[in-house]
Amino acid sequence: MRVGVLTGGGDCPGLNAVIRGIVRKGTQEYGYEFTGYRDGWRGPLDGVTVPLDIPAVRGILPRGGTILGSSRTNPLKEEDGIRRIKENLAKHEVDALIAIGGEDTLGVAARLSGEYGIPCVGVPKTIDNDLSATDYTFGFDTAVNIATEAIDRLHTTAESHMRVLVVEVMGRHAGWIALHSGLAGGANAILIPEQRFDLDQVCAWVESRFKIRYAPIVVVAEGAMPKDGEMVLKDGSLDSFGHVRLSGVGEWLAKQIESRTGQEARTTVLGHVQRGGTPSAFDRWLATRFGLHAIDAVHEGDFGKMVALRGTDIVRVPIAEATAKLKTVDPKLYEEIGVFFG
Ligand code: F6P
């Protein structure tokens, strides 16, 4: 048996841990061989491979990124995509594929498995934690730790200068990183894409903080929007997902706060720092378990499935279940945590 492995979409700390888990168990327990596909779906589409065996995965557990490379290529949008993938898999004698990715990569895996007879198993990844059907995705814990550390650091400089510090974190459609890092870092306001925020309320609250000589920290997810919809996007162009680029909410918010309250405000955009570098211990643990369970699914011929975390168990769910709908922050949870903190 030969298994192809690919990583698609935005990279994420823990991808290498999954690959290592798959290759070690697959080789040692099942006697399988592996073909690494380069740059997501681009690999099987163009037939670009990388060697994938025990020596290739040695030492990669703590390394961020992916040794296979990644891309946002969608073979279903390429001319003759399915035929080219089938031909390359046959040429490489690959019997099954493990696709490690987010909504888009897994969406392709679901269709290849369900409609085109290409046996695929999915592994969920995203720092955003917004994939349904799994309690957590690896990469999220690392991103939250990075954002939390940044917020901790920003408190002291904000207090020294009595400024408002706006911290923009990733999260285009879901505010999980903002919510978790904001709470862990003791932020004073957390603004998420799921709930439009009231700018007057944010400013009134900022002013009230200054009255008690307190420099506020506002955590804002990149996809958060004001209630009145007056925010002007820096750039309305579409990215490779076909999503509108939402860059600039942090900068915009700081300017609004400054002009409306007269208090000095600064913005820190954390950006890709949240996605880079070594995975946390939790993410290595989760990613390794996903890898071990994914190769078990291949061994049992359980295709069209994705491994998922439910409580402390790893289960299998139809891939389509994870990609059907994004997992966003429940308004009740947002309310429970409180938008504004003292
Ligand atoms: O999905 C992960 C993610 O990091 C989002 O939080 C972010 O909006 C997006 O990817 C950024 O994508 P890119 O690396 O293509 O700019």
Say if residue 172 carries a ligand binding annotation.
yes
The confidence band for 227, taking pLDDT boundaries of 50, 70 and 90, is confident
CA of 66 to the centre of ligand 1 (A): 15
Residue nearest to atom 14 of ligand 1 (CA): 10
pLDDT of 237 higher than 60: no
The confidence band for 250, taking pLDDT boundaries of 50, 70 and 90, is very high
Say if residue 274 carries a ligand binding annotation.
yes
CA of 242 to the centre of ligand 1 (A): 12
Provide the token pair at 316.
């299998």
Residue 174 near residue 129 (C-beta atoms within 8 A): yes
Q: Catalytic residue among 11, 39, 128, 141, which?
A: 128
Say if residue 180 carries a ligand binding annotation.
no
CA of 107 to the centre of ligand 1 (A): 17
The confidence band for 297, taking pLDDT boundaries of 50, 70 and 90, is very high
Residues having CB closer than 6 A to ligand 1 are: 10, 102, 126-128, 170-172, 222, 275
Q: Between helices 281-299 and 15-28, what is the axis angle to 10°? A: 40
Q: For residue 173, what are the contacts with CB-CB under 8 A and spacing of at least 6?
A: 128, 130, 193, 223, 326, 328
pLDDT digits (tens, 9 = 90+) for 102-118: 999 999 999 999 999 99
Neighbouring CB atoms inside 10 A of 319's CB total 29
CA of 10 to the centre of ligand 1 (A): 6
pLDDT digits (tens, 9 = 90+) for 137-196: 999 999 999 999 999 999 999 999 999 999 999 999 999 999 999 999 999 899 999 999
User: In the chain, how many H helices and how many E strands?
Assistant: 12, 11
Query: What domains lie within the chain, and their CATH numbers?
Result: 2-138+279-322 (3.40.50.450), 141-276 (3.40.50.460)
- Mean pLDDT confidence for 273-277: 97
How many CA atoms lie within 13 Å of 296's alpha carbon, on the beta-carbon side? Answer: 12
Residue nearest to atom 7 of ligand 1 (CA): 170
pLDDT digits (tens, 9 = 90+) for 18-41: 999 999 999 999 999 999 999 999
Average predicted confidence (pLDDT) for the chain: 93
pLDDT of 197 higher than 50: yes
Say if residue 273 carries a ligand binding annotation.
yes
What ipTM does the predicted assembly reach?
Answer: 0.95
Q: Is 53 a catalytic residue?
A: no
Nearest-atom number in ligand 1 for the CA of 223 is: 8
Nearest-atom number in ligand 1 for the CA of 243 is: 8
Q: What is the 3-state secondary structure (H, E, C) of 43-57?
A: HHHHCCEEEECHHHH
Nearest-atom number in ligand 1 for the CA of 127 is: 2
Task: For Cα atoms 121, 123, 126, give the angle at the middle one, nearest 5 degrees.
Answer: 150
Residue nearest to atom 8 of ligand 1 (CA): 172
Say if residue 128 carries a ligand binding annotation.
yes
- Mean pLDDT confidence for 308-317: 98
- Confidence at residue 213, expressed as pLDDT on a 0 to 100 scale: 80
Q: Is the dihedral of CA 45, 50, 54, 59 positive or negative?
A: negative
pLDDT of 273 higher than 90: yes
pTM of the model: 0.93
pLDDT of 240 higher than 90: no
Under DSSP, the state recorded for 79 is T
16: closest CA among 308, 290, 274, 272? Answer: 290
- Confidence at residue 94, expressed as pLDDT on a 0 to 100 scale: 98
From CA 94, how far away is CA 1, in angstroms rounded?
8
Nearest-atom number in ligand 1 for the CA of 102 is: 1
- Confidence at residue 337, expressed as pLDDT on a 0 to 100 scale: 81
Among 91-95, 205-209, 245-249, 330-334, the range with the most confident prediction by mean pLDDT is 91-95
